[in-house]
Amino acid sequence: MLDSYHLQVLERSLDAATLRHRTIANNLANIDTPQFKSQQVIFESFLQDELDARAGNGKLEAYRTNQRHIPFGNAGGVAVPQIVSNPNNFIQNSGNDVDLEAETTELAKNQIWYSGLTQLTAGHFQKLRSVIEGGGK
Amino acid sequence: MSLFQGINTSASALTANRLRLDTIASNIAQAETTRANFVDGAWQPYRRKMVELSPQTNGTFDNFLQAAVGTVSGSQGGQGVKVTAIQEDNTPFKRVFDPSHPDADQDGYLLMPNVDPMKEMVDMISASRSYEANVTALNASKSMMLKALEIK
């Protein structure tokens, strides 16, 4: 339980949230920079693919005749966040495509998501603690 | 992966926007200055100044480390914004008829700075809104870091 998969997922999600926050901060910092192109972080869909693959519902899975065969596809892989340029947005006269409203909304969403993740992580350790202490109090 | 990078990014933008506001304040303050530079025995009026911004993309150690370890795929995020130059506006000076002015030429015309207060006000509002947006991002970084410290 100490090195459980849940903790790994939580850790990587926190990392992705941090990266997303940095990306949004960078977009906002360059809101008046001519020719600047905004970026966004894609992570949840990769994580979902990985979780599906672990549950045996992967999009691309090899037929295994023995459990000891190495799984094919992305099962057991590590979902890595990806920074891509922001699609479907408008471009201003200066060639800059930062959308202030969209970025601030993403910022707020990401902040709530991050605090939810920290609570889940804290809850994980709380459970561990109650196991160690035998639930005696 | 460090949240401090987010704070540094926002801080660079705050500095840049503060400089923009200072430049605009200087432009407005000098809107009537006819003696800014003494060139070839004659006074030149003040020339409007503009701040030139560009994204800060030079790689930091953190960026190279993350690319090498493979914690992020795709292009690396930037590190905020930097001021590359303070440029002068090359639009012609305003020519005003004022024979009583000590700096007027033989025909009674006076060269005034190429500062348009209306343009400066619009730029000022833009800079101050950008400053506010970046303060919001900075506060978000702060509260996220405090949340992370609550994991125990």
pLDDT means per 10 residues in chain B (152 residues)? 80 94 95 88 90 81 70 68 92 92 89 93 94 94 91 84
pLDDT at B41: 82
**Local confidence band at A2 (pLDDT 50, 70, 90 cut-offs):** low
As a whole number of angstroms, the distance between CA B63 and CA A119 comes to 28
The ranges assigned to domains in chain A are 1-59+77-135
Is the pLDDT at A75 greater than 60, yes or no?
no
pLDDT at B123: 94
Is the pLDDT at A92 greater than 70, yes or no?
yes
pLDDT at A60: 59
Q: Which of A19, A28, A114 sits opposite B13 (nearest CB)?
A: A28
| Residues β-bridged to residue B51 | B86
Secondary structure class of A14 (helix, strand, coil): helix
pTM of the model as a whole: 0.82
As a whole number of angstroms, the distance between CA A83 and CA A101 comes to 20
A30 vs B: CB within 8 A: yes
Is the pLDDT at A73 greater than 60, yes or no?
no
CA pseudo-torsion sign B68, B71, B75, B80 = negative
> Would you call A83 and B76 a contact, using CB atoms and an 8 Å cutoff?
yes
What is the residue type of B115? V
**Cβ atoms within 10 Å of A96's Cβ, excluding its own:** 19
Pick the closest to residue A105 from A20, A14, A45, A37 (CA basis): A20
Pick the closest to residue B109 from B120, B122, B125, B93 (CA basis): B93
Task: Point out the least confidently predicted range of A59-63, A102-106, B33-37.
Answer: A59-63
**Local confidence band at A4 (pLDDT 50, 70, 90 cut-offs):** confident
Residues of A in contact with B144 (CB under 8 A): 17-18, 21, 111, 114-115
**Cβ atoms within 10 Å of A65's Cβ, excluding its own:** 6
pLDDT at A74: 46
Average pLDDT over residues A35-48: 88
pLDDT at B117: 92
As a whole number of angstroms, the distance between CA B129 and CA A108 comes to 17
Q: In what order do the strands lie in the sheet with A39-42?
A: A39-42, A82-85, B73-74
> Would you call B54 and A32 a contact, using CB atoms and an 8 Å cutoff?
no
The ranges assigned to domains in chain B are 2-31+49-88+115-151
